[in-house]
A = this chain, B = another copy of it.
Amino acid sequence: MKFAKIPMATINRLSIYLRNLDELMINDVEVISSERLAKQCGVNPAQIRKDLAYFGEFGVRGVGYRVKDLYAQIQEILGLNRPWNMALFGVGNLGSALIRHANFLKHGYRFVAAFDLDPEKIDKTLPNGLLIQHVDRFEEVVKERNVEMGIIAVPPASAQSVANQLILAGINGILNFSPVQIQVPDCCRVENVDFSIKLDNLAYHISSTTT
């Protein structure tokens, strides 16, 4: 689906709404007011209305949102009404943890391939049944399994070269767990996740305010 330029912050919040609606569905809530939904998501009700207004009319005045409908609509907006195939690069501590983190699956993200360089790891099977393959087999496997996103969990020095391979293979979405800033062309989007950096921010905050 294409829409006018939507602020990234709105897309982020839609994600948050989606996860909270998911939780409401689990708890069999059928209808929710924008006030209650806002409270649960930690935003104000006007924000929810404004975010949704980019995409059309949602909710029923005086009633609120039908949880299932809004969930389905946001899913469609974000492109989450279908599964996404991901390949993992780097099956170290973090990589293995990610594979185990079942939440991914819940939201339609699934690992369809896992790559490493370490001969000790190649041809081993992960708990989810995936075979760890040598990164040399990447191009072939990407096509075969229709990989759409690359998850980079390799050491920093290798992150850019993995990204280069992904881009050459036409993959336009990268989630980078490696503590390095990856350079990519405009067609490609990189999202960085580095909780060590976030912890460092906290350490800096606490150190600089308490001493």
Q: Interface on A for B, CB 8 Å cutoff?
A: 1-3, 8, 11-12, 14-16, 18-20, 23, 40-43, 77-80, 84, 86, 93-94, 96-98, 100-104, 107, 109, 148-149, 155-157, 160, 172-175, 179-183, 187, 189, 191-211
Contacts and interface: CB of A to CB of B under 8 A. Distances in A.
A100 B79 CA distance: 32
A160 B42 CA distance: 9
- What is the oligomeric copy number? 2
Given A172-B205, A208-B79, A210-B172, A196 B104 contact: yes
B189 A201 contact: yes
A36 to B, nearest CB: 12
A175 B156 contact: no
A149 B209 contact: no
A172 B101 contact: no
A194 to B, nearest CB: 8
Nearest to A106: B196
B207 A172 contact: no
Given A42-B181, A196-B107, A204 B11 contact: yes
A157 B39 CA distance: 10
B156 A20 contact: yes
Given A173-B206, A200-B11, A180 B16 contact: yes
